[in-house]
Amino acid sequence: MKRIGLMLFLGGSLWLIGVDVVQAYQNHDKPSRSVSRKEVSFEVLRMLSTGMTKAEVLSRAGSPQHRFKNRGTQSWIYSATDRWIVEIVFSGNNVIKVNWSKA
């Protein structure tokens, strides 16, 4: 029963973020644009790790503040509380690196 509830929860979550994922893929060949978003909590960003998919990152941290593309990789930038800046680097659909820096 717990599996069914978990699957329904995950399915609903994926549906809610589906628009962002579709938008990310539609903007694949377009110049990136900055979107003003509020800061994400440090604890949420701390849980992001290599191997995660774009959908998983979107479901946990929401849309990034900035998106950049560079020779086969894509970087999403988030600002966390306490002046932390987090860069999530994707190759294809998966996170390959998480860079932290203090602003």
Q: Which domain holds residue 39?
A: 2-102
Q: pLDDT in tens for each of the 103 residues of the chain?
A: 656 655 555 555 544 444 454 455 555 444 444 444 568 888 999 999 999 999 999 999 999 999 999 999 999 999 987 889 999 999 999 999 999 999 8
pLDDT of residue 75: 97
pLDDT of residue 5: 57
Q: How many domains does the chain have?
A: 1
Output the domain CATH number for residue 91.
Answer: 3.30.1450.10
pLDDT of residue 34: 43
Q: How many CA atoms lie within 13 A of 6 on its CB side?
A: 3
pLDDT of residue 35: 42
Q: How many CA atoms lie within 13 A of 78 on its CB side?
A: 25
Q: Scanning the structure block, which residue is given the tokens 């978990």?
A: 6
CB 86 within 8 A of CB 100: yes
pLDDT of residue 54: 97
- Rounded distance, CA 40 to CA 63, Å? 10
Q: Residue 83 gets which letter from DSSP?
A: G
pLDDT of residue 7: 58
- Rounded to two decimals, the pTM is 0.62
